Amino acid sequence: MPVYGMSVPRFPFYALVAILMALGIFLILHRHWVYEVPLMYGETQTIWSVEAKVEFTADDGPVRVSMVRPSAQQGFTILKEAGASPGYGLNFIDGDEPRAEWTIRAASGRQELFYRAEILVSQAPGESGMEAPPLVPVSWPEPYATAVSEVLAEAYSTSAGNFSLTRELLKRFRQENSAQNIELLKTHFSDNLPALWVDMLHKARVPATLVYGLDLQDGRRRQMLTPLLRVWSGDESQIFELPGQEHTSLLKQADAPLLLWEQRGAPVLDVVGGRDSGIRFSMLKREESTYANIAENLSSQHDFLNFSIHSLPVEEQAMFKTILLIPIGALIVCILRVLVGIRTSGTFMPVLIALAFIQTSLVTGLIGFLLVVATGLFIRGYLSRLNLLLVARITAVIITVIAIISVFSVLSYKLGLTEGLKITFFPMIILSWTIERMSILWEEEGGKEVMIQGGGSLLTAVLAYWAMNDPWVRHLTFNFIGIQLIVLALVLMIGSYTGYRLLELRRFRVFN
């Protein structure tokens, strides 16, 4: 047992650091050489792993589940498909509308089925898409037939073709203060407006159909398909976003590619022998070199050294892609606190704030963080005069933070500041504890110390954000588990440092 004041042998410590460093480097190089995973970011092709999770409740009898599969299309090539369905028979049915079909003689209770596709982002033209559907004669009873005719006549007079007619038609349904005919149609066809728009275009002799697309956003889980309108003009077609989707499109990534999952207007999911069915999608983006070889290696070889996140379901991969960035942020915190001497409010609170910045963007996150914390400190000052117990006070602060974020989100949306909606990505509990900690610090140490620790926290969070959001860092942490061992070795080395911090050199310069 070591005695205070006596030196402890450092050899075992240095040996542990060396072993961790060597093992981490070995795992990285082994994965690069054996499985051909590239060390350099940006020199490879982009692969999307998309996983569909089908859930339903079986009725104690035979079950047949049919789900539409994506087909090759402009910009995308389907490389590999697989399913996970214990006890079920699974068949991939090709044809004009590719489908995956699960069958079983008897099933009861809640069921979960999985479908997974590996999709290559390709610059090749690929299949241009389906041909225009035939025009379907439609009719409505009065007064809806007259309303449809008048709306189409107005849109037709301000258009110059099929695509502009579609834009004019959707614009009229998108306006808040709509005309009387629009309000009549909205009210009567509120349950299925997309089908109404398709029928209206068919009445105007414009080929159109309802399709379902998936916005490919890296690391997203439990996403739903988006209904879209596909319109033809001759051999060309365009995709239109439907009214009412503006809020969801504000939160998606600006460069998110659109994968058309269903292109013929047919039901995406058909369950016979079950009820309460639903489908959710998880997706993950990764960079691979020669995918044909790598995908086969990563999926078929399961030796001990092939310790890869890729073997997990896509939903768990998306979660780990963010979790594996946390050690990088923690390393930044260790460097700034131990070597530089920056003081922060909470040890690893800046890492969690940096994770929120990744979701919101840096500028939006900084403004939102400052607004919420400043308002929360003002309200917390009032709560301190009520002499509440700690648990009740923290609970009140949490509720207050949720109310503040809700008010700011609504106000920013009303003012047209759509970036303000992203403030909802901030962790409520962390913000509440930050406000509580800063308030106590203000009472005990004064406003100057709050500014020092608050500024240090924001500086650390920004630096951690830059490190964690770097494409090279994200590529290395996700594809090479050995990086975690190297980070651990560096943290142990930093933890053994007992010299002056960088910011302390000015205080002790008189001793030099």
Q: How does pLDDT run across 384-438, given as a tens digit for each residue? A: 787 778 788 888 888 888 888 788 777 776 766 655 555 655 667 777 777 878 8
Assigned domain for 443 exists? yes
Assigned domain for 437 exists? yes
Say which DSSP state 323 is in.
H
What pLDDT is attached to residue 126? 44
Dihedrals φ, ψ of 428, to 5°? -65, -45
Q: Is the pLDDT of residue 295 over 50?
A: no
What pLDDT is attached to residue 490? 93
Q: Exposure pattern of 475-512 as b/e (b: 16+ CB <10 Å)?
A: bbbbbbbbbbbbbbbbbbeeeeeeeeeeeeeeeeeeee
Enumerate the β-bridge partners of residue 47. Answer: 120, 286
Assigned domain for 386 exists? yes
User: Are 94 and 143 contacting, i.e. CB atoms less than 8 angstroms apart?
Assistant: no
User: Are 169 and 151 contacting, i.e. CB atoms less than 8 angstroms apart?
Assistant: yes
Assigned domain for 441 exists? yes
- CA-CA distance, 239 to 116, in Å (whole number)? 25
User: Are 115 and 83 contacting, i.e. CB atoms less than 8 angstroms apart?
Assistant: yes
Q: For residues 505 and 484, which has the higher predicted lDDT (pLDDT)?
A: 484
Say which DSSP state 124 is in.
S
Assigned domain for 464 exists? yes
Instruction: Write out pLDDT tens, residues 240-288.
Output: 888 876 545 545 555 678 888 888 777 889 999 898 899 999 988 877 6
| First and final C-alpha spacing in the chain | 37
Residues 6+ apart with CB under 8 A from 168: 154, 155, 156, 158, 159
Instruction: Write out pLDDT tens, residues 1-44.
Output: 444 444 556 788 889 889 999 999 998 888 777 766 777 765 56
Q: For residues 467 and 292, which has the higher predicted lDDT (pLDDT)?
A: 467
Assigned domain for 117 exists? no
The burial class, CB within 10 Å (0-12 / 13-18 / 19+), for 123 is exposed
Assigned domain for 15 exists? no
- CA-CA distance, 244 to 193, in Å (whole number)? 10
Assigned domain for 174 exists? no
**CA 298 from centre of chain:** 24
- CA-CA distance, 509 to 512, in Å (whole number)? 5
Q: Kindly compute the dihedral angle of the four CA atoms of residues 354, 121, 194, 102, in this order, to the nearest 10 degrees.
A: -100
Q: Is the pLDDT of residue 83 over 50?
A: yes
Structure tokens at 449: 């110390």
Among candidate residues 296, 300, 218, 229, the one with its CA nearest the CA of residue 252:
218
User: Are 214 and 226 contacting, i.e. CB atoms less than 8 angstroms apart?
Assistant: yes
> Domains in the chain: how many in total?
1
pLDDT band at 509 (very low <50, low <70, confident <90, very high): low
pLDDT exceeding 90 applies to what percent of the chain?
A: 12
Among candidate residues 297, 314, 313, 317, the one with its CA nearest the CA of residue 305:
297
What pLDDT is attached to residue 293? 46
The burial class, CB within 10 Å (0-12 / 13-18 / 19+), for 287 is buried
Residue range(s) defining the domain that contains residue 495: 322-504
Lateral strand order in the sheet of 208-215: 236-241, 226-233, 208-215, 258-262
Q: State the average pLDDT over residues 440-468.
A: 86
Cα radius of gyration (the chain) = 29
Instruction: Write out pLDDT tens, residues 153-201.
Output: 888 888 888 888 888 888 888 877 667 888 888 888 877 888 888 888 9
